[in-house]
Amino acid sequence: MRAQFRSRLRIILAAVLVMAALVVVRLYFVQVVDGAAYALKAEHQSTGAGGLFDRGTIYFTRKDGTLISAATLATGYLVAVNPQLAKDPSAAYDAVAAEATTSVDKPTFLAIAAKPGQVYIEIAHHLSDAQGAALLAEKVPGVEVLRERWRYYPGGDLAAQSIGSVSYGAGGDALAGQTGLERQYDDALSRSGDSLYQNFFAELFSGAGNLLVSAKNAREGNVVTTIEPEVETRLAGDLAKVNQRYSSIESGGIILDPATGAIIALASYPTFDPNDLSTIDPAVLRNPLVENAYEFGSIMKPLTMAAGLDAGVITPDSTYTDTGCITVNTAKICNYDLRARGTTSMVDVIEHSLNLGASWIATRLGQDKFRQYFTRYFGAKTGVDLPAEIGGLIGNLQTSEQVNFDNMSFGQGIAVTPVQMIRALAAIANKGVMERPHLASGIELDTGITRALDWSAGRTPVFSATAAADVSQMLTTVYPNDARLAMNSDPSLQYANVPVAAKTGTAQVEKPGGGYYTNVFFHSFFGFFPADKPRFAILLYTNRPQGVEYASGTLTGTFMDLTNFLIDYYGIPPEPDQVLPLPKTVPE
C-alpha cells in the first residue's frame, strides 16, 4: 500500500516537472526568441506620458430614439522623437512632417532637442491609422509612434456652446469638461482609468462589496440628451442665414417641448468647432442662451396679458381707449406707429402689439401684483442643466415709478436670458405651468442601465389654464398677418397647415450710458403649434440686424421654415381649414 502511494506521488511529481519544463521552454520562446517582437507590439499599444484618455459619450437622440454621438472619442497615433536615439533629429523631424502635420515647428523642435537630457518630444498628434502605419513602416531611428485617444465631436459646430468642450483646466494636469454639458456632467463623463487594472482576486478578498455595487459604476456613464440632430441642424442653419443676411452681431434660438421642458434644439451664432480650439476667440465659448440677458420687447406682452387675466383685473372682452401716446412720470410711451386706435380690445393689443394696451393692463394690475407675477416668471434661474446660467435683470420690479412697470409690460426695462424667456412663454402652451428646461434625459451607465433624470420637481404654476387658453387664442391672430408679409417677399414659404400661436418682438437696444438707441433693435419671435395641442415652442432672436426695423421682417420666414419642417419631420397631422385668411384692413 505504501509502495503504491509512493508510485502515485512519483507520477504526479513527474507530471509537474514536465509541465514546468514546458513552461520554461515557452518562456524561452516568448522572452528570448520573440521578445523583440512582443516589445514592439507593446510599445505600439502604449501611450505617451499620462496614459490613454478615456471619457464617456454625450448623445443626441433622433426622433426614433436612435442615439447619435455628439461628443465621443477618436483613436489614432501621436509621434514623439527621442533625440538620444535619433541619429539625425532634423531628418527624424522631416520624416514625420512628410507624413503628418506637426504641432511643433522645426526650429522650436531642434532647439528643444539640443538641450541635454531630452528623451521625449511630442511633435505630431491625431494621426490616422494609415499615417501611423506608414511612419511605423519607415522605422526612423528615434521616432516613436504611440497610441493616442482624444475627444472628438462628430457634429463639429452643432450645438457647440451647449455640448461644450474639454481642455486642461487651471491646474493644467488633467483634461476635464470646461463648458456646456461636458462641464455640467463632468462627474459622470470622467473616467478614473483604474478599473481595467484591478486584480479580480485581490478585489474579491479585500473589497467584495465593490464587486457587487460600486459607487463609481453607479455614477460613471454616458449622457443622453433630448437634442434631435436633424432639428438642431435645421435651426443652426437657419440662424446662420439670418445672421449673415442681416449682418446681426449674434442670433439664437431654442425649440422645446412645452409639456416637459425637453429642449429639442438650441443654437446660437456665431459658433465654433470644438474639434479645434486653437484658433477660436474665447468669447465665442460663452453660451448666450443662458449667460446673456436681453430686453426682448413685445414678446413680453402675452405674459402681461396672462397676468391680467389670471388676476381677474381684465377679461378677454375688456377694452380701453387707445390714444397713441401717453405720458407716465414725465416719460412718453407710444405705440410703434404712434397711431391712436380709440376703443381697443385685448385681442388687438396682442395682434397689433400695442404698447399702450400693455401699459393699461400693467396699471390695472397694480405694482404689487405686477411684481408678484413677473417675479414668478423671472425671479429665479430656470435650473437648466448648463453651467454659468445667470438670472434676469429685474431690478426695476423693486422700484415705485409706474413708467418702469409700463415699460416692463412690453418688454423694455427688464432683461432676461433666452432660456428664461421661452420657459415663461411656454407656460401659455402648457396650461399655465412653467416646466424646467433641460437637455439631458438620462445617464446611460456602463452596465447598460439608463438612469432617467427626473425634471418634474422644477414645475412652477404661474397662471391658470383658462388664462393660458385665452392668451393662446389671441396669439393665433398674429401668425396670419406676419405669414402673409413674409410670403409676399418669399413666395417659397408655406403657410402652416396647423393652427399656430405666435408673437413678434422689436426692442430698442440700451445705450451703454443709459437710454436707448433710436435705430438699433433687438428682434425676437416666439410661437408654438399646434395651438390647440402644442407639441413645440420656438423662440428666435437676432441682435442688431441691419436694414430692417421690425422683427416680422427678419424672423417670420425663419419661424415659418422651422414650423413647416417640424410638421413634416414629426408627421403632425394637418388640421382642416388651415388656410391663409384674407388680409384685414389694418396694415402692419
Least distance from other proteins to the Cβ atom of residue 201, Å? 6
List the x/- string, 244-263, binding to other proteins by CB under 8 A: -------------x-xx-x-
Identify which of 285, 181, 272, 271 has the alpha carbon closest to the alpha carbon of residue 223. 181
* Residue 158 sits in the site that holds other proteins (CB under 8 A): yes
Torsion sign across C-alpha atoms 469, 472, 477, 483: negative
* Residue 574 sits in the site that holds other proteins (CB under 8 A): yes
Measured from the CB atom, the residue of 83 and 229 that comes closer to other proteins is: 229
Identify which of 369, 352, 383 has the alpha carbon closest to the alpha carbon of residue 503. 352
Query: What element of type H or E holds 20?
Result: helix 2-28
Between CA 586 and CA 588 the distance in angstroms is: 7
Per CB under 8 A, the list member of 32, 49, 196, 579 interacting with other proteins is 196
Q: Write out the binding residues for other proteins, residues 462-501 only, by CB under 8 A.
A: 492
* Residue 459 sits in the site that holds other proteins (CB under 8 A): no
Least distance from other proteins to the Cβ atom of residue 205, Å? 12
Per CB under 8 A, the list member of 152, 345, 460, 510 interacting with other proteins is 152
Q: What is the largest CA-CA distance in the chain?
A: 125
* Residue 156 sits in the site that holds other proteins (CB under 8 A): yes
Measured from the CB atom, the residue of 397 and 422 that comes closer to other proteins is: 422
The size of the interface with other proteins (CB under 8 A), counted in residues, is 54
Measured from the CB atom, the residue of 74 and 313 that comes closer to other proteins is: 74
Measured from the CB atom, the residue of 233 and 372 that comes closer to other proteins is: 233
Is residue 150 within 8 A of residue 277, CB to CB? The reply is no
* Residue 234 sits in the site that holds other proteins (CB under 8 A): yes
Least distance from other proteins to the Cβ atom of residue 232, Å? 9
Between CA 111 and CA 131 the distance in angstroms is: 26
Least distance from other proteins to the Cβ atom of residue 330, Å? 51
* Residue 22 sits in the site that holds other proteins (CB under 8 A): no
Measured from the CB atom, the residue of 217 and 477 that comes closer to other proteins is: 217
- The label of the residue with cell 412663454 reads 425
Q: Rounded to the nearest 5 degrees, what angle is found at the Cα of 386, between the Cα atoms of 278 and 424?
A: 135
Between CA 228 and CA 552 the distance in angstroms is: 27
* Residue 45 sits in the site that holds other proteins (CB under 8 A): yes
Between CA 140 and CA 274 the distance in angstroms is: 33
Cα-based distances in Å from 554 to 281, 524, 544: 27, 9, 11
Measured from the CB atom, the residue of 73 and 469 that comes closer to other proteins is: 73
Measured from the CB atom, the residue of 228 and 348 that comes closer to other proteins is: 228
Between CA 572 and CA 552 the distance in angstroms is: 25
Torsion sign across C-alpha atoms 9, 14, 17, 22: negative
Q: Is 259 helix (H, G, I), strand (E, B) or coil?
A: coil
Q: Is 404 helix (H, G, I), strand (E, B) or coil?
A: helix
Query: What element of type H or E holds 144?
Result: strand 143-152
Segment interacting with other proteins (CB under 8 A) among 1-9, 162-170, 307-315, 507-515: 1-9
Per CB under 8 A, the list member of 214, 233, 318, 508 interacting with other proteins is 233
Between CA 338 and CA 329 the distance in angstroms is: 19
**Residues near other proteins (CB under 8 A):** 1-2, 5-6, 9, 12-13, 16, 19, 23, 45, 52, 54, 57, 61-65, 68-69, 72-75, 149, 152, 154-156, 158, 196-197, 199-201, 228-230, 233-234, 237, 257, 259-260, 262, 264, 492, 535, 570-574
